[in-house]
Amino acid sequence: MIPFDFDGPICEVFAGLPAASVARRLERRLGERVESDDPLQILRESVRFGPEVVQAVEYDLVVAELEAIDSAVATPGGLESMAAGLAAGKVVGVLSNNSPQPIVEFLKAAGLLSGVQPIVGRAYANPSLMKPHPYPLQQALLTAQLKPAEVVFIGDSMADIEVALTGRVKSVAPAGEQAG
């Protein structure tokens, strides 16, 4: 199986709707400023405010991701790499800290949805299960009924590398501005 991280290796989710503006929207639910322009970090911070705030921030983030996916920009070579894996008969999936709905929408628009499985997005309103937690990888392995030795994870961040190490799968994480 070749699971890909979504935001980075496949597309830039917030290319047309800046992540910083989404982060500011989400902060309103918290009632305080967080020193991050990353909407996922705002979701992580929401845990300090209790389950109702986590639910509200999660809902708003899913809405923002669905809005953003309409103007997302494909990463050069990302969709082509997925298509090449599928053409070679490989199981190609997605492991992401993004919610599953925008992933599905993007892959549908790209004509790859029918071939890409499993798609494991962020567990709803449970930011503790986001990467680097191994939950997304574990879910993908269960769904695909594969062993770690049969997987090469394509990511672009330290969290992706940590997931691969924890899950004992091979990984490829190209160096660049996103990695780190």
> At CA 122, angle to CA 118 and CA 128, rounded to 5?
130
DSSP conformation letters of 64-85: HHHHHHTT-EEPTTHHHHHHHH
Claim: this prediction has a pTM higher than 0.85? yes
Per-residue pLDDT, 173: 84
pLDDT of residue 176: 53
Q: How far apart are CA 41 and CA 35, in angstroms?
A: 9
| Ranges in the chain, pLDDT < 50 | 177-180
Give residue for tokens 């997925």.
Answer: 82
**pLDDT at res. 180:** 37
Q: How far apart are CA 162 and CA 132, in angstroms?
A: 6
| Residue labelled with tokens 């009632």 | 31
* CA proximity to 37, closest of 48, 26, 51, 49: 26
pLDDT, tens only, 155-179: 999 999 999 999 999 999 875 544 3
**pLDDT score of 40:** 98
DSSP conformation class of 149: G
Q: Are 170 and 152 in contact (CB under 8 A)?
A: yes
Q: Which two tokens stand for residue 26?
A: 């989400």
Average model confidence (pLDDT) across the chain: 95
* Whole-number Å distance between alpha carbons of 128 and 147: 24
> What pLDDT is attached to residue 120?
98
Question: Is residue 173 classed as helix, strand or coil in its secondary structure?
Answer: coil
Contact 154/170 with Cβ under 8 angstroms? no
Domain-wise residue ranges, the chain? 2-12+73-172, 19-69
**Degrees to nearest 5, angle at CA 90 with 70 and 81:** 45
Pairing of strands 73-74, 11-12: antiparallel
Percent of the chain with pLDDT over 90: 96
Q: What is the CATH superfamily name and number for domain 2-12+73-172?
A: HAD superfamily/HAD-like (3.40.50.1000)
Q: How many angstroms from the chain centroid is the CA of residue 1?
A: 17
